[in-house]
Amino acid sequence: MTEPEVRAVFESAGALLHGHFLLSSGRHSDTYLQCALVLKDPRLAETLGRALAERLRDTAPDVVLAPAVGGILVAHEVARALGVCALFTEREAGSMRLRRGFGLAPEQRALVVEDVYTTGASVREVAQVVAAAGARLAGVGCLVFRGESRPAWAPRFEALLELQAPSWPPEACPLERPGAAAAVKPGSRDLQPAK
C-alpha cells in the first residue's frame, strides 16, 4: 500500500481526528489517530497487517510482539501474514511484561509492532522485554509514525504512513490558553476531558 492509500483508509474510517488531545505519552497534539476505528474492520486490519508484514518479511521473525492494547490486532495480522505467532505485553506493577503463559525463547527473533509510534516509549519497553528474555530484536514496525525521530536503536524500522503531526509537552502546548477547550484523552474509552 502507498502512503496516500493508507491515509485514505484512516480518513474514510473517521480515524484521523483534529482537536486538542492528550496522547498516551503525556504530550498534547492537535491531531489524533484512533486506530480502533480502522482495525474494527477485519478486512482493513488484515490488509494493513499484510502490507506491514511485506515491508518487514526479510527480517525473518520467529514471533511478532506488541504492547497491549493498541498493538494487539496489528501484531495478530502481521503474524498471520508472516505465518508466525503473535504475542503481546501488558503492564504489571508499572512494568511491561509477558503474561498469560506467553514467553520468548533465547535467540528467538522478535518483530515488535505498534499501531501508532509517537515517542516510542511503549515499543522500547517491549524491546527491553525481548532483550531480557535473551531473544533478539528483528525490527520494529508501525501502521503510523508520527514521531520526531525514527528509532536509531532498532535494527530495522518501517511505517506504512508517516504523519506530520506536532506534539508538545503540556506546559508548551499552544492549544492551552484561557477559554480554550480542554485536551481530551482518546483511547479505549469515549473521549473524555483530560485530568
Q: Model confidence over 92-120: pLDDT tens digits?
A: 888 899 999 999 999 999 999 999 998 88
What is the pLDDT averaged over residues 120-132? 94
The pTM (predicted TM-score) of the whole model is: 0.87
Separation CA 116–CA 141 (nearest Å): 9
- Would you kindly state where each structural domain of the chain is located, as residue ranges? 3-193
- Is 52:82 a contact under the CB 8 Å cutoff? no
What is the pLDDT averaged over residues 66-82? 96
Q: What percent of the chain has pLDDT over 90?
A: 74
Separation CA 168–CA 23 (nearest Å): 10
The answer, yes or no, to whether residue 191 has pLDDT greater than 70, is: no
The answer, yes or no, to whether residue 169 has pLDDT greater than 80, is: yes
CATH C-level class of 3-193: alpha beta
Mean pLDDT of the chain: 91
Separation CA 141–CA 6 (nearest Å): 15
Q: What is the pLDDT of residues 12-57, one digit of tens each?
A: 999 999 999 998 778 899 999 899 999 999 999 999 999 999 999 9
The answer, yes or no, to whether residue 190 has pLDDT greater than 70, is: no
- Is 94:100 a contact under the CB 8 Å cutoff? no
The answer, yes or no, to whether residue 188 has pLDDT greater than 60, is: no
Indicate the length of the chain as a whole number. 195
For residue 174, is it left (φ>0), alpha (ψ between -120 and 50) or beta?
A: alpha
Separation CA 98–CA 119 (nearest Å): 22
pLDDT confidence bin for 176, thresholds 50/70/90: confident
Q: Which residues contact 176 (CB under 8 A, 6 or more apart)?
A: 28, 170, 183
- Is 140:64 a contact under the CB 8 Å cutoff? no
What does the pLDDT read at residue 94? Answer: 87
Hey, what's the torsion of the CAs at 8, 13, 16, 19, to 10 degrees?
A: 140
